[in-house]
Amino acid sequence: MSAETAERIADTLRALADPTRLRLLTMLLNAPSGEACVQDLATPLATSQPTVSHHLKILAAAGLVRRDRRGKRSWYSIREERVALVRGLLG
């Protein structure tokens, strides 16, 4: 395994090393439309929108989710190619 690949995998695992981020990823995987906005994710988590935005920013930096701005809202969806990597690591 190259150093670059190892670093990318470590970044991904660091992003997933938080229960809230794992829950957000699961919620996005199960979203009926394949995407959700921060407001839709904050309510079921009983977490503030700024906190959810912070966690989503970390997931986006790790390449696990993508952000699409529409007006004043940001919509998030799964980046399947990176989630496939995680599934492969987990077995």
How many folded domains does the chain comprise?
1
pLDDT at residue 64, rounded to an integer: 93
Task: Give one word for 31, left, alpha or beta, with left for phi > 0 and alpha for psi -120 to 50.
Answer: beta
Task: Look up the CATH number of the domain holding residue 9.
Answer: 1.10.10.10
**Domain enclosing residue 30, as ranges:** 3-90
pTM of the model: 0.84
If one counts every other C-beta atom within 10 angstroms of the C-beta of residue 62, the result is: 20
Range in 28-32, 54-58, 87-91 the model is least confident about: 87-91
**65 Cα distance to chain centroid:** 4
